[in-house]
Structures are given as C-alpha cells and as structure tokens.
Amino acid sequence: MNTFLDRVGSPELDWIQVEVTSRCNAACIYCPQPFLGHNQHMSFGLFKNLLPYLGYTDLVYLQGWGEPLLNPDLFSMIRACKAKGKRVGFTTNGMLLTDETICRIVDLETDIISISLAGATPATHDRIRKGTDLVKIIENIEYMQQIKAKKKARLPEVHFSYLMLASNLNELQETVGLAKRLGVEQIVGSHLTWILNNSLLPEALFNLEEEQQRFSDILEATAAEAKKENLTFAFNSPVLQKQAAHCTENVCRSCVVSVNGDVGPCVFTSSTLLQDNRQPLVHVFQNSLEPCYPLSFGNIAHESLTRIWEKKAYHQFRNLHDPEMTIPGNPSQLPQSCRSCCKKEV
C-alpha cells in the first residue's frame, strides 16, 4: 500500500547510479568483478520500481560492477528515464559498441557515454584492461562519431574515464590528443581506490610518496594541454587516513542501487561485493586487508526510493558525511567500510 511519504515526492538527488548488471565481458586486473558472487542482470521489472521516484533527480547513471551493454534491457531503461525527462549516461569498456548498439544509443538521445581507458597505447591498455582491445575501442568511437554526424545528433557526449596507475601515468597526457582526434569532450582521471590485493599496491599512486612529484607534474601538463585543446580534464585525490571524515562521493545528494535492488551510498558498499559463499570481498587499506561490508538502507523490490532515503538510519549516515554539519560527525561512528575507504577528505 502506498503511504503518504511514497506519494508526496522524490528525494532531491544530483544523480542516482543504478547497477544494471554485475556481468562483464572483460577481466581488468584491478577489478573485483570476476570475484563477485552476483553474476546477474537487473530486470526491467525491478528497474521500473525506481521510475516514480526520479522527480527531483538530475542524472540517472546506469553503472556498477559490470558492463551495462550486456543487459538486454539497457535500452528500455534508457528510454524509460528519457521519457521522464532525465539525463542518462553510462560507462562502458567500449567493446560492445556495434552498429546496432550505437544507433540505439544515439536514437535514444543518451546524454553521456564514458569509455574506460587504462593507457593510450594498446600495449599498456590491453595489459591492464584484459579482454579489451584499444585498437577496436578507437574504431568503435570513430564509428559512433560517424553515425552521430550522419544523424546530425549532438548526443551522446563522449567522455574518457582514465584509471591512473603508476604503470600508465606516463600515457595520461597522450589521451588528450587521442580525445581531440576522436571528438571526446571530457577526460576524467580516477585513482585505484579499491585495491584488491597486495600485488596492486605499487600501482596505487596516491599511496606512493616517491611518485608524488612525477604525479603532480603529469597532472599539471595534462591539464595545460587539455585547456589548450578546449577539453575538460577532471580528477580526484583520495586520502589514506583512518581519521578522515567526510566522503567525497557526494553521498548526501546521490545514491547507488545495486543489481539486486539494495540502496546504499556507493559502489564500495554494494551488496554485489559479496563472494559466492556470501563473505565480503577484502581490499588493502593502510597495508592491511579490510573486509568491504555491504551497506543497504532498503531494497526497491519492496520499498519506495523515497521511503528508503527518508529512513532515520540513512539520515544519520548522511549526517556523518555532511561537510555542512556544524558539529562534524565522529569518524568512529562511521560504518566499517567507510573507515577503511580512501574516498574521504580530512
């Protein structure tokens, strides 16, 4: 039965991220996806439960731990959100951009498509993003731009999402020229913040003191080149301190819906990060292995998004992360997953 709360409105969100699948056709060396117990698509039926509660949401981003283009209902989801007047985007590894999928993306006026990169040369990118092929990805982007031109379509905006690692940092600057050539409008540099095992520690740039000078030089040079080419280059800077308080992931004005319908603050607390035996995956934080416990405030299969967002426990959680609270939250009250997370600021 719909309650008053369900009927009165929707949460005011900058974006809502929806994990439309936890399956993938790639096996990137840093990604927990191959270890997930979940290996499923979100059904369109479950997705539709969100639609009445998107009234004050700006952007619906169809992304989690998986490749969205594998979900056969992806285009129905995009269409349903566009019918509600929402901006829609997703990130893809770029391998499934065929004639058919590109035409559907363009015809639905999908707003943003972000292509994941981990290098500007095939040798580097393909070594890190196993199962993908940079040459093919570039061909696919060129093809998408041709189709857009043929259809006189402005959308989707194409972005690059570049994972900055110690071993590919020297190719970051090259992505600016590549972006320019391919009509990519924005490059977002992200860090390896979820470190799957000790062998990946030497790749986590923000964790390596000796890399800081090289890192800031390259960031500066990349930003200058992007500016010259009239492209946007954005990046984040995680910290590795347990006493850090506020999350930098905009958790007070966004949420993530996991593939099974659970609603939480971010992909790092997604219930998808459970193994087959239902044990949480672990990651490296401050040189020790920390479990990543799921955090869910409700499930859209049997509760409205509004009701979940307004729960007392969810309010309390957001207050702990709200930089505008006059009395800052006590970091010791944070959930375990937040305490061992690099996505916080001091």
Of positions 268, 285, 309, 314, contacts ligand SF4 by CB under 6 A: 268
Examine residue 93 and tell whether it contacts ligand SF4 (CB under 6 A): yes
Of positions 24, 42, 164, 274, contacts ligand SF4 by CB under 6 A: 24
CB atoms inside a 10 Å sphere around CB 174: 15
Nearest alpha carbon to residue 270 among 11, 32, 8, 2: 32
Decide whether 222 or 272 has the Cβ nearer to ligand SF4: 272
The region of 21-29, 143-151, 297-305, 325-333 touching ligand SF4 under the rule CB under 6 A is: 21-29
The region of 41-49, 174-182, 225-233, 335-343 touching ligand SF4 under the rule CB under 6 A is: 335-343
Examine residue 259 and tell whether it contacts ligand SF4 (CB under 6 A): no
Examine residue 28 and tell whether it contacts ligand SF4 (CB under 6 A): yes
Of positions 11, 89, 156, 265, contacts ligand SF4 by CB under 6 A: 265
Measured distance CA(289)–CA(197) in Å, rounded = 8
Residues facing 59 on adjacent strands: 15, 87
Q: Using CB under 6 A as the criterion, what x/- string covers residues 34-73 for binding ligand SF4?
A: -------------------------------xxx------
To the nearest whole angstrom, how small is the minimum distance from the Cβ of residue 256 to ligand SF4?
9
Examine residue 27 and tell whether it contacts ligand SF4 (CB under 6 A): yes
The region of 25-33, 79-87, 97-105, 233-241 touching ligand SF4 under the rule CB under 6 A is: 25-33
At residue 103, what are phi and psi to the nearest 5 degrees? -60, -40
Examine residue 266 and tell whether it contacts ligand SF4 (CB under 6 A): yes
Examine residue 344 and tell whether it contacts ligand SF4 (CB under 6 A): yes
Tokens describing residue 342: 């690099």
Position 291: which residue type? P
The region of 26-34, 96-104, 140-148, 307-315 touching ligand SF4 under the rule CB under 6 A is: 26-34
To the nearest whole angstrom, how small is the minimum distance from the Cβ of residue 15 to ligand SF4?
14
Question: What are the residues binding ligand SF4 (CB under 6 A)?
Answer: 24, 26-28, 31, 33, 65-67, 93, 116, 129, 247, 249, 251, 265-266, 268-269, 337-338, 341, 343-344
